[in-house]
Amino acid sequence: MQLTQLSIQGPGSQGLNSELSPFQQSIEFALKADNAVIDRVGRLAAREAFADFVWDNNFELKEEETYDIVRMETVMYDEDRPVNPEVFEISKFNDTAFEPEPEVDGNGNPINPEQLSDLLRVGAEYNMAEYAGLLLTENADPLGRHNARLFVEQAYGSQYGIGQYGRGDEYNGGFTTSFDDHTVIGIAGVYVKNQGYNAEYNRPQSEYGVMEYSQKRDFTVQNYDYYIVFELRGPKLYRLGQWTPKNGLTKCQLVPFMDSIFLFSAGEPPIAFYKGSSALISDHPNYKPPRDGDRGNDEFGNPSGLNVIAPELDGDVACAAYGRLWVSGVNGNYDVIYYSDLLVPYQWYDGSIDSEQGLPEGEDPFNSGGIIDVREYWPTGNDKIQGITAHNGFLIIFGRHSILIYSGAQGDPAGENGLKLEDAIRDVGLVNQDAMCNIGSDHLFVDSLGVRSLGRVVQEKSVPLAEPSLNVATVIREQIAENRDTVRLHHLISKNIAVCLFPFDREAYAFQLGQPSATGGLRTTFWTGCDWYDGCAVRSDYKTRELLGGMDGRGVTMYDGYTQPAEYTLSYESTVLLSGNDLMQTLVPKSVLYSFHHHHNEQNHSQIKLYSRWGFGTEEMPYMAKCQMSGHWRKTDVGTCKVNMAGSGEMLRIGFDCPIHSHPFSMQQISINTLAGRKLV
């Protein structure tokens, strides 16, 4: 027998591939790449953690209840735009009305000190000052109370206090929960603990108070008993009100627009959230619902006023684009889209502007709200609007099995250079309104065949469709078919990753954006233990936070670092390794050397564990051994470890498992010393 060395340079650097034959000489692909990403230099590396961030709340749940955060959205305040206090007043949807900023005299002392009680309750007790070791309590002395409030303001958002930089992780390893000019609104679905779990998975909770990742939820979104709308404010989730949608979670959407967040739910009036307060859009004093110019006459023959088409915009398919809100599903009609007036979310289509009877007194002659009826444009003859989005100057309307692309949505859609149908694509559509995301240069969406891409829409009439999930097409299609209503597509902006999430399977496919793989599909890895449902990115001056809506009462978590309540394991399995081109040649592996990169320090050297795995053929790998770390590795970020191997057979495959807890890890090269035996004929 002849001793041969087989090397894998950059193992798994092309990501998963379930479509290639495992016997093909494509060793850069992997048959298994769990809890991994492809890092910026092309190595297979451990994904970051779903780390704890904010879990304290005032939800007032019963002892037997817990919650999942099922919707999250953020918006930046527009400080330059004057705030009209009539627009978003404290309404019946709020549990608590907080007092406005107190008036002060020329010396800075409060004129009415009693106004500070609510401010201190919101700011001092739960603010970042508490984390600085200063638990501020109410002070009977007016000046003392006023100074306390000033400290809270500085601590919450000061450049040098406890806010953005004072506890920023970039400087001292801590986390700041203060986002000075952003608000984060979310929805928590409440359910009874352990309700709907399979008996075989119904295990005790871990020491961290969260379920082990091996547990699987056995119920769907309809099993939430009720929902709580909350705001992330400092290090706490503040309840804004209880809410029970008529048509379930899959029929609602949070939409950021201007400096507010709008909640659209099927069959219910939309709600606007602004800096901790909420109001129905229809409660605005200048609210104008969609109406036409046919005023009609009453029983006495007198004009009875304008005909209101929809008293409330009670649709659930919505987006904000080109200075307007766009909503479908109003009155249960998914062939029609209503769009608001330019930068006026409470003013909609007004047919009286074109009425022969003239414009009623007090009406806005410049109202450009309107209606789009797409029923006659479906290329298949019949469809239903599943999603609305904007990309590259176009308005894109997704059906279940077709796509309509309109130009002219900017400016006045009903004007001379307004909406024009540019393309109608058939036999491809959107599975649900949450299964799409814009990544800047492209727009990704999920249909029954996998994750698809519109490509950059150019002047040509035809839109080039691509398939980012090409490398995992077979396996992802099966999972989409089983989770059609709940699959989600989420863009981790700061990580350049798009995640196709199956929240109730707690699994996801992660697509590395940028350079595609050798097949043309995006480089893909598989994530397990995904105990989150939704997420949003919050940008600050120095870092973007990828916030996640945690499940099982974890609150708001964060994709960051490498520490989470339970360890997760980076796993890799190669395709078949051949000595030359002889598939049916017996190999006797003798040893394997792993070369890897790891952020080194003396403390975490003892924490790293690496387990070698190998086998023959395409079955499970029966051999496993713990790697022994080289002693010299203590002085470098590059480590090696060697394992003596056993067994013999044809079609050798190699792999490894690396539990991740507090440390990054990436694999650079795998080298196997093997004896090449006789060839089978």
Chain segment 615-624, per-residue pLDDT in tens: 988 777 888 8
Residue 281 to residues 71, 257, 286, 287, 361, Cα–Cα distance (Å): 20, 13, 10, 7, 22
pLDDT at position 549: 97
pLDDT at position 455: 78
| Of the residues 560, 589, 615, the one at which a domain ends | 560
* Tokens 């451990």 -> residue: 46
Residue 64 to residues 194, 249, 419, Cα–Cα distance (Å): 9, 22, 53
**Residue 61 domain flag:** no
**Residue 367 domain flag:** yes
pLDDT band at 458 (very low <50, low <70, confident <90, very high): very low
**Is the pLDDT reported for residue 19 higher than 60?**
yes
Nearest to 368 by CA among 408, 315, 324: 324
Least confident of 5-14, 107-116, 456-465: 107-116
**Is the pLDDT reported for residue 582 higher than 90?**
no
Say yes or no: 166 and 45 in one domain.
no
pLDDT at position 22: 63
Least confident of 17-31, 181-195, 487-501, 528-542: 17-31
Say yes or no: 312 and 225 in one domain.
yes
Tell me what the pLDDT averaged over the chain comes to. 79
Domain count, the chain: 3
pLDDT at position 154: 35
pLDDT at position 274: 87
In 266-410, which ranges are E strands?
268-274, 277-280, 291-292, 307-308, 317-321, 324-328, 336-339, 370-373, 385-391, 394-399, 402-407
* Tokens 């970042």 -> residue: 128
**Is the pLDDT reported for residue 90 higher than 90?**
no
Say yes or no: 23 and 104 in one domain.
no
**Residue 54 domain flag:** no
pLDDT at position 402: 95
**Rg over CA atoms, the chain:** 29
Q: What is the pLDDT of residues 269-324, one digit of tens each?
A: 999 998 778 899 999 999 999 988 665 555 555 555 568 899 999 999 999 999 99
Say yes or no: 190 and 324 in one domain.
yes
Mean pLDDT of 341-354: 86
**Is the pLDDT reported for residue 440 higher than 60?**
yes
| Of the residues 172, 196, 212, the one at which a domain ends | 172
pTM above 0.85, yes or no: no
Say yes or no: 548 and 577 in one domain.
no
Say yes or no: 528 and 631 in one domain.
no
Comparing 604 with 24, the larger pLDDT belongs to 24
Least confident of 441-445, 451-455, 632-636: 632-636
Residue 347 to residues 207, 262, 545, 641, Cα–Cα distance (Å): 52, 14, 34, 67
Residue 524 to residues 151, 622, 677, Cα–Cα distance (Å): 48, 26, 35
* Tokens 């928590």 -> residue: 188
Say yes or no: 523 and 658 in one domain.
no
Judged on CB neighbours under 10 Å (0-12, 13-18, 19+), 39 is middle
Run of H or E residues at 479:
helix 473-482
**Residue 391 domain flag:** yes
Say which CATH number the domain at 530 has. Answer: 2.130.10
pLDDT at position 195: 64
In 513-665, which ranges are E strands?
523-528, 532-539, 544-550, 556-559, 568-574, 585-597, 611-616, 623-626, 628-629, 638-644, 652-660
Query: DSSP string of 108-174?
Result: S-BSSGGGHHHHHHHHTTTSHHHHTT------SSHHHHHHHHHHHHHHHH-SSSSSTTTT-HHHHS-
**Residue 69 domain flag:** no
Least confident of 83-87, 293-297, 331-335: 83-87
**Is the pLDDT reported for residue 196 higher than 90?**
no
Contact 339, 370 (CB under 8 A): yes
Say which CATH number the domain at 639 has. Answer: 2.60.120.260
Say yes or no: 375 and 272 in one domain.
yes
Most confident of 276-285, 527-536, 597-606: 527-536
Judged on CB neighbours under 10 Å (0-12, 13-18, 19+), 477 is middle
pLDDT at position 658: 95
Q: What is the pLDDT of residues 227-258, one digit of tens each?
A: 999 999 889 999 999 988 888 888 899 999 99
Least confident of 278-287, 430-439, 446-455, 457-466: 457-466
Q: What are phi and psi of 320, to 5 degrees?
A: -115, 125
Q: What is the pLDDT of residues 491-512, one digit of tens each?
A: 999 999 999 999 999 999 999 9
**Residue 75 domain flag:** no
Say yes or no: 446 and 351 in one domain.
yes
Run of H or E residues at 603:
helix 602-605
Least confident of 13-27, 265-279, 408-422, 632-646: 632-646
pLDDT at position 574: 93
Q: What is the pLDDT of residues 117-134, one digit of tens each?
A: 333 333 322 322 222 333
Residue 443's Cβ-side half-sphere holds a number of Cα atoms within 13 Å equal to 25
Amino acid at 264: F
| Interatomic CA distance for residues 607 and 613, integer angstroms | 20
Q: What is the pLDDT of residues 422-432, one digit of tens each?
A: 999 999 999 99
**Is the pLDDT reported for residue 94 higher than 90?**
no
Say yes or no: 341 and 430 in one domain.
yes
| Interatomic CA distance for residues 529 and 507, integer angstroms | 6
pLDDT band at 78 (very low <50, low <70, confident <90, very high): low
With pLDDT > 70 as the criterion, what percentage of the chain qualifies?
Answer: 71
**Residue 59 domain flag:** no
Say yes or no: 159 and 193 in one domain.
no
Say yes or no: 397 and 275 in one domain.
yes
**Residue 63 domain flag:** no
| Interatomic CA distance for residues 573 and 33, integer angstroms | 7
Residue 620's domain comprises 2-49+570-679
Angle, to 10 degrees, between the axis of helix 142-157 and the axis of helix 116-123?
A: 40
Comparing 14 with 148, the larger pLDDT belongs to 14
Dihedral angle at the C-alpha atoms of 382, 387, 389, 395, nearest 10 degrees? 10
| Of the residues 172, 197, 215, the one at which a domain ends | 172
pLDDT at position 182: 81
